[in-house]
Amino acid sequence: MYKKNCNSRKWMYLCAVTGVMNLLAFIVCLYFQQWVISGITLLLTIRQAIVLPKWRKKVKQEERMAENEPS
C-alpha cells in the first residue's frame, strides 16, 4: 500500500512543480511578447491548477485507506 501512496505523492509534487514552472514560463513569455507561447503556458498552468487538488484528494484518500487497513 505504501508504494501506491508513494507514487501518488510523487505525482502530486510533480503536478505542483509543473504548474509553478508553467506560471514562470508564462510570465517570461509575456515579458518578451511571445503571445502564442504565453497563451499556451497559461492554459497549461490553469490545467495544472485544476489537476493538483484531485491528486491531493487521492493522496489523502489513500492515506486514510492505509490507516484503516489491518496489519
The DSSP annotation for 33-54 comes to T-HHHHHHHHHHHHHHHHHHHH
The reply to whether 69 falls in a domain is no
pTM for the whole structure: 0.74
pLDDT in tens, 15-68: 889 989 999 999 999 999 999 999 999 999 999 999 889 888 988 888 888 888
The reply to whether 28 falls in a domain is yes
Extract the C-alpha cell encoding 9.
Answer: 505523492
Structural domain including 14 reads 2-64
pLDDT score of 27: 92
What's the total number of domains in the chain? 1
